[in-house]
Amino acid sequence: MIMILTTLYSKAQLKGKLIEISAQFSFTEGPTADEQGNIYFTDQPNNSIWKYDTNGLLSLFMQPAGRSNGMFMDKEGFIVSCADEKNELWRIDPVSKAVDVLVTGYQNKLLNGPNDVWVSDRGTMYFTDPFYDRDYWQRDSSELPQALYMLQQGKLIQIDAALDKPNGIIGSPDGKHLFVADIGADKTFVYDVNGDGTLSNKRLFCEKGSDGMTVDDRGNVYLTGKGVFIYNKDGQQIHHIDVPAEWTANVCFGGKQHAYLFITASEKIFKIYPDW
């Protein structure tokens, strides 16, 4: 299925204008952008990944897709996906669509369901593993604490299990800090990323949790839920984007020059040219 969805606006008209791209989905999640600015996002209930390119072309990229949820494009151009159908972490080739299963469990136990992921420039992967019971699972309980994990050189390490329900995750533009939202505790924490990829100095960033999240090149952090909440690098809220949808799940920057904020929200996907 391919659709061309374009609307012509002047730069002045675009600034701060929330543009609905499509409302044809069941629940959108996991937006991530490649180097050119093309957006990939998931429609998890329909077990699919979609692509919205820089020319306004919307197309089905992959189905089935392992019930992919959060995703992140690594520096080599592969899509790292939280595929929670079988509680796995995937790496998808965007050309061949071949799947490399990176993680299948931890200490011979099932993960809860990888939810969101961030990949550093060095290739270290960090992902959250909350427990959200799925109707397509054949289990109804958790074998592991809800935790933050690190995958480095093929080794999976449980970093922080002292979280209520970790969800959104994003690294700072310089890669020196990692932000992790605890949606269960309604807080977001920040960690220092050490030279070897380990984390230290966990501290409160702000008194608000989040589903998905992203960061801009100025260090502002974008949290989601009832719209998009924007915090500066000091943890102070500076803006809110009202999104006409029941729930705003995730965000990322993309499009030409990565100038747009893309927002996945319930059955919809939006984009907005920032004016803050």
Each residue's pLDDT tens digit, 154-188 = 999 999 999 999 999 999 999 999 999 999 999 99
Strands 177-182, 2-4: pairing is unpaired
Starting from the edge strand earliest in sequence, which strands make up the sheet with 18-22, in order? 18-22, 268-272, 260-265, 248-254
- Please say if the pLDDT value at position 250 is more than 60: yes
Cα distances from 88 to residues 73, 182, 212, in angstroms, run 17, 21, 18
State how far the Cα of 119 lies from the Cα of 82, in Å rounded to an integer: 12
For residue 194, what are its two tokens? 């050490």
pLDDT of 276 reads 84
Write the pLDDT tens digit of every residue in 226-241. Answer: 999 999 999 999 999 9
- Please say if the pLDDT value at position 257 is more than 90: yes
SS3 81: strand
Higher pLDDT, 14 or 193: 193
Please give the average per-residue pLDDT across 210-222, as a whole number.
Answer: 97
SS3 45: helix
Question: Which candidate, 37, 132, 35, 115, places its Cα nearest to that of 80?
Answer: 115
| Average per-residue pLDDT for the chain | 94
Cβ-based burial of 96 (10 A; exposed 0-12, middle 13-18, buried ≥19): exposed
Dihedral over Cα of 135, 141, 146, 148: its sign: negative
Please give the average per-residue pLDDT across 235-251, as a whole number.
Answer: 98
State how far the Cα of 256 lies from the Cα of 114, in Å rounded to an integer: 30
Please report which confidence band the pLDDT of residue 11 belongs to, taking 50, 70 and 90 as the band edges.
low
pLDDT of 3 reads 53
Long-range contacts made by residues 201-204, C-beta under 8 angstroms, separation at least 24?
202/160, 204/235
Write the pLDDT tens digit of every residue in 95-149. Answer: 999 999 999 999 999 999 999 999 999 999 999 999 999 989 888 889 999 999 9
Cα distances from 238 to residues 221, 233, 245, 275, in angstroms, run 10, 10, 22, 12
Work out the percent of the chain whose per-residue pLDDT is above 90: 91
